Amino acid sequence: MLINQTVTKELYNDAGEVRLSRAKEYVKQRRVEIEQIDYDDMNNFSIASLVDGNYDEYKVHISVRNGELDRLNCECEDYKTHYGACKHIIATMLEIDGNPKYSKEQYKSKGKERYSNFSDLINTFYDEEMKLIEDPTQDTISLDKNVNLVPKIIFDSYSNEMKIEFKIGTKKQLYKIRDLVEFYNLMINKEQYKYGTKLNIIHEEETFDKDDIQMLNFIMKHAETIKYVNNNSNSIYRYYGKVLNTGSIVLSNTAIDEIFEILQNKKVAMEKEYITKEIEFVNETPNIKFELEKINEKEYKLMCNIDTRDTYEIIEGKEYTYFLTEDKLYRCSKEYKETTLKLLDVFKRNYTREIKFSKNQISNFFSIVLPKVKNSVTLDTIDEEEIEQYMPKKLGVKVYLEFNEKNYIVAKVMFCYGEEEFNPLEENPNIPRSVLEEAESLNRFRKTGFMLDKKNSRFILTDDEKIYNFLYQDITEYMQKFEILATDDFKNRQIKKPKMGTIGVKIENNLLSVNVDNFNFDKEELKEILEKYRLKKKYYRLKNGDFLNLEENEDIDFLNNLISGTRSNI
């Protein structure tokens, strides 16, 4: 079958020597099975094949339109990461390229078969005439303006990844941008270039429709990255092909957020499983709702308003999560993903639209599930008295703080639900409880550095630095979240700034004598304080349990410089 050699050359260069060599071995070993060919001419055809790889069989699809590569796809991991010609794609092309077994007549489109000779006659003279029209020596050059950039997204269900490619043109004709790096270079140099017969432009921002400038900037940003990566991988390119494919942009987490910002409220072509549909980019959450219903006196069920057997995909961006249906791409917050979408996933994993549970389990639903998804769950069919019975009251947390004999901080925690008050480390009353809020409260102590004193049903903080951090900054957050009850001894503990007051300085026997009696700490500890300061420690703990803050203190800095630069008596 005859194939435009410009197409094959582009494919082989993209693949690199290693992939090309391995593909030739595949053809030689007869590993390629051609399943379908739709062939109009050497510039317009599509091929579907099955290639027997080293570990599995892979479906391959190649499409060429108007002498340009329109679509490549393979199920192998190399294609998923490279998004370019893999050895299975190259083997497919090698199998049919020039092979008389796959003749033009055999695969010619049926509608054109009867009059193919006449088409050849017309095309021969038409092509000759078009060469005259396209002659660059003509005096008049018409440059197009208000040029559009039209995106198309390709979604890979297997890897759950997306890439985006572009066409350029006007209402007359659109042309695929085959090489985004080449396009980038044309823009940087503001060069004139002719796409086909109907688009002739100078590559500068003024040429493009103002509504497409954001898209243009997106292309330029990511094409520059592709160019940089490929140019700095010359040895890899020679043997393994391009590191990044130049025909499309893989939508990373950040790039998905960027492209959505550009395309929101617009409809864009998206190809999925070789089927192309228009997808609307919607800046809102999908209408996913759950309803709690009482079946009988012993059972309840939670129902979902959508059939989770229907196709949908969840795609991760950097700042957002995206929910893809058949005709819409919704932008959702990360919180929505961790709540509503997480609950939806439970339904999907269990292949069901309803989840049943007993009356004995409903308190867990109200305390663990409902607080997370309350905005997506309706309780309309449940009596208010019944909801009151199982809904936990507001959680209050009391924390009793004191220092023990070793100057460790001791914290006793009490949970409060209305009149009910208990220590969660030793009691487990049979009342509706906010389990997640309780866990979050107890985890706060662990994150601060408290250890569990299980014997005494309390928490204890023993590390000096963590005690300092707790007194200096963490205590403020605790006071905002909890009711803090502290002993007088705890309240009197301080974080001090070293204060010198008036320093007496005199010289005796060639020694500098410094009087530090006015310091707000015991002068016997001054030597250790200065040692900590020189080591750039942020605090020093005095023998009485108080802390000295040594950060950015002019008084202690002055004294350190005075003593370090002079022989002195203190």
**The pLDDT of residue 109 is above 50:** no
**The pLDDT of residue 146 is above 60:** yes
pTM of the model: 0.61
37 phi/psi in degrees, rounded to 5: -135, 125
Check if the beta carbon of residue 246 is closer than 8 Å to that of residue 166.
no
Kind of pairing between the strands at 148-156 and 267-272:
parallel
**Better-scored residue on pLDDT, 172 or 240:** 172
Most confident of the following: 77-81, 238-242, 398-402, 564-568 = 398-402
Separation between Cα atoms, residue 149 and residue 177, nearest integer Å? 9
56-74 average pLDDT score: 85
Domain coordinates in residue numbering, the chain: 5-124, 148-262, 284-390, 395-492, 496-569
Q: What is the pLDDT of residues 463-490, one digit of tens each?
A: 999 998 898 889 989 999 999 999 998 9
Q: What is the pLDDT of residues 361-378, one digit of tens each?
A: 888 898 889 888 989 999
Kind of pairing between the strands at 174-176 and 32-41:
unpaired
The pLDDT score that the predictor gives to residue 506 is 52
**Better-scored residue on pLDDT, 540 or 20:** 20
DSSP 207-249: GB-GGGHHHHHHHHHHHHHHHHHHHT-HHHHHHH--SS-SS-E
SS3 (DSSP) at 539: strand
**Better-scored residue on pLDDT, 478 or 519:** 478
Strands (E), 273-426: 275-282, 290-294, 299-304, 313-316, 321-324, 328-332, 354-358, 377-378, 395-403, 409-417, 420-422
β-pair partners for 328 = 280
Confidence of residue 132 (pLDDT cuts 50, 70, 90): very low
User: Can you read off the two tokens belonging to residue 105?
Assistant: 């007549």
Separation between Cα atoms, residue 86 and residue 26, nearest integer Å? 12
| CB atoms near residue 568 (< 10 Å) | 14
The pLDDT score that the predictor gives to residue 523 is 63
339 phi/psi in degrees, rounded to 5: -120, -85
Confidence of residue 136 (pLDDT cuts 50, 70, 90): very low
Give the 3-state secondary structure of 115-153.
Answer: CHHHHHHHHHHHHHHHHHHCCCCCCCCCCCCCEEEEEEE
Separation between Cα atoms, residue 121 and residue 369, nearest integer Å? 73
184-199 average pLDDT score: 90
Q: What is the pLDDT of residues 258-271, one digit of tens each?
A: 999 999 999 999 99
Kind of pairing between the strands at 377-378 and 290-294:
parallel
Identify the weakest region by mean pLDDT among 132-141, 275-284, 295-304, 320-329. Answer: 132-141
Kind of pairing between the strands at 328-332 and 275-282:
parallel
Separation between Cα atoms, residue 314 and residue 343, nearest integer Å? 13
505-530 average pLDDT score: 61
Check if the beta carbon of residue 246 is closer than 8 Å to that of residue 226.
yes
Separation between Cα atoms, residue 95 and residue 500, nearest integer Å? 89
Q: Which residues contact 5 (CB under 8 A, 6 or more apart)?
A: none
User: Can you read off the two tokens belonging to residue 504?
Assistant: 């007496």
Identify the weakest region by mean pLDDT among 111-115, 116-120, 337-341, 451-455. Answer: 111-115
SS3 (DSSP) at 276: strand
**The pLDDT of residue 249 is above 50:** yes
Check if the beta carbon of residue 227 is closer than 8 Å to that of residue 245.
no
- What's the half-sphere exposure (Cβ side, CA atoms, 13 Å) at 309? 4
Separation between Cα atoms, residue 292 and residue 381, nearest integer Å? 7
540-567 average pLDDT score: 70
